[in-house]
Amino acid sequence: MANRSLFASSNGRLVAQSTGVNHSGAPAYDLAAPHKLAQLAMTGAFGGGYYRDAASQMRELIALAQKVSPGFLARAAVHVRERGHMKDTPCVLLAVLSLRDPALFTKAFLRIVTSGKMLRNFVQIMRSGQVGRKSLGSRPKALVQDWLNRATDAQLLSGSVGQSPSLANVIRMVHPHPRDPGREAFYAWLIGRPVDTALLPENVQALLAFRSGQSDVLPDVPFQLLGSLDLTGAHWEMVARRATWQTLRQGLNMFTRNGAFGNAEAVACAAATLRDPERIGAAKAMPYQLMATLRALSPDVDPALADALHDAMELSVSNVPRIAGRVVICPDVSGSMSSPVTGYRPGATTTIRCIDVAALVAAAIKRINRDALVLPFERGVCDVALEPRDTIMTNATRLAAIGGGGTNCAAPLAWLNERKERADLVIFISDNESWMSVDRNARGTALMREWENMKQRCPRARLVCIDIQPYGTSQASEREDILNIGGFSDSVFDQMAAFGSGEAGAAYWVKEIEREVL
């Protein structure tokens, strides 16, 4: 007779056996290559994370781009640019695509390279040798030439801000054929050659006249081209009024330091811009960007502008849905979540940590779904009370202050099971690097075993796992009642709502990419 202690019958669905290990060496589930590529591309900023450095992140992304079909690769590149608002990873995928399918590469190029900044990114990546070649090649070179010739004067002038490579380097590299004498003169000026000023665009002529002192009219050009000049407070006020929403947000300290907000009217104008719903939407403002700005705000900045940023924060998460049923939110506040959300980048490391983003997402969901239960966890569930009426920043700061300790992703579900609590939608926000509650003799992960226990009480419950810094594994297996999402874009909220209501399946994200029309 079989040993009953080893082969006793178990209730409920059989937990799937784990298929890999995470970076902590604990059991985990490997994601399929398309899903893994989508997660990494939507969040990859090529900075060193808690468990992985920038070089290994780059190698993994390129290896995944070689594994998926060219069609999925092209659609993923477009998706992460247009929906994820990423800058570097779409260019890496585009560079790989240029070697795999020139026709699809041509279609994707037109959707991804939409500015001088993106053009310079693409050229830099192609010439780095990371994707297998150190030259552009004939088709990429032709497309770069075509972009330069089709670009407006304003796009070219804006693209001239920045180095490595500079736009001048790109022009020297591809030798675009100018469409008329005016564009020929503009190219010559950009690469530092003598030129007939009368042939240059009006805004460039205005810039040169202002620089030389022949005119006192401030030209409407990127402010970086004016930075070396001795501008007055009135000049800086004009620069601030003309600035894009993102430039204004990022430059509040600099504008304040230079006297741009020296009168009540200037402050009111800037505040109105910062809280303008249309401007916020057009800028594709991310909540964590506003969090970074608020944290870095100088005490000298007018309080009215800080209030406008708080209003902008509330508006930036206005698409957070109201979810029917009992919602439980589980933000990971363990030690590994203290790493910068976009990784360690020499001279450019963000002050925003993974734990800040997790807390921000949790606070935003709680703000709209006021009856939601919040269970922050590390080794176990942490005791914290959130007031739904508080601002998102207040609740996010309260959650983020808990941080530290090991990671036990099963802890919130164990807490719910011990108390026989019911739930319709459980949302995890973590880096998925759980290493506690590991039983090498049991099937699957501790989280999946606790989830099966909950499903016996709540058979219609659904689980969403948001991975802030995807490493290619999850603590939850892929199946119809579990959705694994990578990243922190605003589209996460829509995905959660569709999945929680049963309108979308577990493969939602990959299917969204596959629906992209090139």
Range in 86-95, 286-295, 314-323 with the lowest mean pLDDT? 314-323
Q: What is the pTM of this model?
A: 0.79
Range in 200-204, 296-300, 491-495 with the lowest mean pLDDT? 491-495
Q: How confident is the model at residue 358 (pLDDT cuts 50, 70, 90)?
A: confident
Instruction: Sketch the domain layout of the chain as residue ranges.
Output: 20-27+322-514
Q: What share of the chain is helix, strand, coil (3-state, %, to 5)?
A: 50, 10, 45
pLDDT of residue 51: 43
Q: Is 199 helix (H, G, I), strand (E, B) or coil?
A: helix
Q: Rounded mean pLDDT of 138-145?
A: 96
Q: How confident is the model at residue 497 (pLDDT cuts 50, 70, 90)?
A: confident
Write out the two tokens for 50: 């808690």
Is the pLDDT at 54 greater than 70? The verdict is no
For the chain, counts of helices (H) and of strands (E): 24, 8
Is the pLDDT at 439 greater than 80? The verdict is no
Q: How confident is the model at residue 10 (pLDDT cuts 50, 70, 90)?
A: very low
In words, the CATH class of domain 20-27+322-514 is alpha beta
Is the pLDDT at 164 greater than 70? The verdict is yes
**What confidence tens digit (pLDDT) does each residue in 393-416 have?**
888 888 888 877 888 989 999 999
Distance, in Å, from the CA atom of 482 to the CA atom of 396, rounded to the nearest integer, reads 26
Which of 8-17, 109-118, 282-291 has the highest mean predicted lDDT (pLDDT)? Answer: 109-118
Q: How confident is the model at residue 48 (pLDDT cuts 50, 70, 90)?
A: very low
**What confidence tens digit (pLDDT) does each residue in 210-256 have?**
999 899 899 999 988 987 788 999 999 999 999 999 999 999 999 99
Is the pLDDT at 20 greater than 80? The verdict is no
Range in 12-21, 155-164, 476-485 with the lowest mean pLDDT? 12-21
468 φ/ψ angles, rounded to the nearest 5 degrees: -70, -40
Range in 407-421, 453-467, 477-491 with the lowest mean pLDDT? 477-491
Would strands 20-21 and 27-30 be described as parallel, antiparallel, or unpaired?
Answer: antiparallel
pLDDT of residue 391: 79
Q: How confident is the model at residue 132 (pLDDT cuts 50, 70, 90)?
A: confident
Closest among 293, 343, 339 to 313, alpha carbons compared: 293
Write out the two tokens for 101: 């399918």
**What confidence tens digit (pLDDT) does each residue in 235-245 have?**
999 999 999 99
Q: Which amino acid does the sequence have at 335?
A: G
Burial of residue 110, with CB atoms counted within 10 A of its CB: 0-12 exposed, 13-18 middle, 19 or more buried: middle
